Amino acid sequence: MEFANKYVLWALLVLPLLVAYYIWRLKQGGGAIRFSSVTSLKNAPKTLRYYLRHLPFICRICALALIIVALARPRDVEHNTNTTTEGIDIVLAIDISGSMLARDFHPDRLSVAKEVAAAFISDRVGDRIGIVVFAGEAFTQSPLTTDQSTLQTLLSRVRSGIIEDGTAIGNGLATAVNRLRESDTKSKVVILLTDGVNNRGQIAPLTASQIAKDMGIKVYTIGVGKNGEAPYPVADEQGNIVDYVKAKVEIDEKILSSIASQTGGRYFRATNEKSLKAIYDEINQLEKSKVEVTQSIVFYEKFAIFALLAIVVMMLEFIVSKIILKRIP
């Protein structure tokens, strides 16, 4: 509860003065009839009127206090907050080709990419996120969802070797764009991460990029791999890694830059774990969800209760003083 006219409450300071004056008047006497001696009256029985003699004054003080409180306008305050969130639909397109097991990241590029993507997902509360993986072809690991627990579980199951090897950047981007085809949100984003050059697939990267542009989808591209050479895995006929050999890091930065530029996104190069995390942090800041907070305040006036109580107390004072304690004229 609060008071609309708080300054009125200062009037309550007058009440102790009135009480002090009343006590002072009692000590001064002031009886209308004087007696030569009251000794014989000391042993007289005390009636109900004797015990109620101060009640009228108490009622007047209480009524005055209630009137002052009513004039201060006590009221209950209710704060209502409505939050409207306009989320963003995001698809993570992750390269899972064999080269993503290169050891220029610790323990390898794919493990670090998954770890950083998991942290990114955790920060995007309220956004719908999907996961697409690609190598020689592409498929959807998770459709768009706000269920972070499911996303984290499906992301943890991403591994290299589950589909034919190669780097089909165009197919990966086209699959990610297709996941956003029926999205009705204003902001649609694809974050495409790869460490190679497009060498497989039926869809050219720039063709998929044009489709994304036509659909109003922004694409951020990330090239993963340090400059120079890196230890790449060598697999046997069964697909088991048997060795690592030094090979030149080749990333088609021209194509990735063109995709990002064409769709209104940006191209980033990650040469280590720290820079990859910084890239995701920057994208996280660039693509903020829109949150609108509307606050309303409702007041419920309570002064009528105190005014009504004041009337009741004044009526009680009138009954006691004019009927029960009726004075001699």
- 93 and 16 in a common domain: no
- Asked if residue 293 is part of any domain, the answer here is no
Which pLDDT value is given to residue 85? 64
Least confident window among 83-97, 145-159, 178-192, 263-277: 83-97
Residue 71 has pLDDT above 80, yes or no: yes
- 92 and 61 in a common domain: no
- 188 and 112 in a common domain: yes
Which stretches of the chain are DSSP H helices?
A: 14-27, 48-51, 55-71, 109-123, 148-156, 169-179, 205-214, 253-263, 273-286, 303-319
- Asked if residue 97 is part of any domain, the answer here is yes
Which pLDDT value is given to residue 40? 58
Q: Is the dihedral of CA 275, 219, 135, 179 positive or negative?
A: positive
- 67 and 167 in a common domain: no
Where residue 268 falls among pLDDT bands split at 50, 70, 90? very high
- 126 and 67 in a common domain: no
- 230 and 315 in a common domain: no
CA distance 95 to 197: 11
Q: Say how many C-beta atoms besides its own lie within 10 A of residue 8's C-beta.
A: 16
Which pLDDT value is given to residue 328? 57
- 224 and 195 in a common domain: yes
Which pLDDT value is given to residue 82? 67
- 165 and 305 in a common domain: no
Least confident window among 72-76, 83-87, 271-275: 83-87
- 100 and 54 in a common domain: no
- Asked if residue 37 is part of any domain, the answer here is no
Q: What is the pLDDT of residues 132-163, one digit of tens each?
A: 999 999 999 999 999 999 999 999 999 998 99
- 244 and 137 in a common domain: yes
Which pLDDT value is given to residue 133? 98
Which pLDDT value is given to residue 202? 94
Q: What angle do CA 22, 28, 31 make, to 5 degrees?
A: 95
- Asked if residue 33 is part of any domain, the answer here is no
- 242 and 137 in a common domain: yes
Which pLDDT value is given to residue 66? 93
Where residue 283 falls among pLDDT bands split at 50, 70, 90? very high
Q: What is the pLDDT of residues 245-256, one digit of tens each?
A: 999 999 999 999
Residue 41 has pLDDT above 70, yes or no: no
Rg (the chain; Cα; Å): 41
- Residue with the bigger pLDDT between 95 and 75: it is 95
- 273 and 133 in a common domain: yes
Which pLDDT value is given to residue 76? 87
Query: For the chain, what is the domain count?
Result: 2
Percentage of the chain surpassing pLDDT 70? 88
Contacts of 177 (CB under 8 A, 6+ apart): 91, 190, 208, 211, 212, 215, 217
Where residue 234 falls among pLDDT bands split at 50, 70, 90? confident
Show the tokens assigned to 269: 């190069």
Which pLDDT value is given to residue 123? 92
- Asked if residue 185 is part of any domain, the answer here is yes
Residue 167 has pLDDT above 80, yes or no: yes
Which pLDDT value is given to residue 190? 97
CATH number for position 171: 3.40.50.410
CA distance 233 to 167: 15
Which letter does DSSP use for residue 102 in this model? -
What is the extent of the structural domain holding 304? Answer: 2-28+46-79+298-324
Q: What is the pLDDT of residues 292-329, one digit of tens each?
A: 556 778 888 888 999 999 999 999 888 888 877 776 55
Convert 252-275 to b/e letters by CB count within 10 Å (16 or more is b): beebbbbbbeebebbbbbbbebee
Residue 121 in contact with residue 154, Cβ under 8 Å?
Answer: no
- Judge residue 57's burial from the number of C-beta atoms within 10 Å of its C-beta, 0-12 exposed, 13-18 middle, 19 or more buried: middle
DSSP-derived 3-state class of residue 195: coil
User: Mean pLDDT for the chain?
Assistant: 88
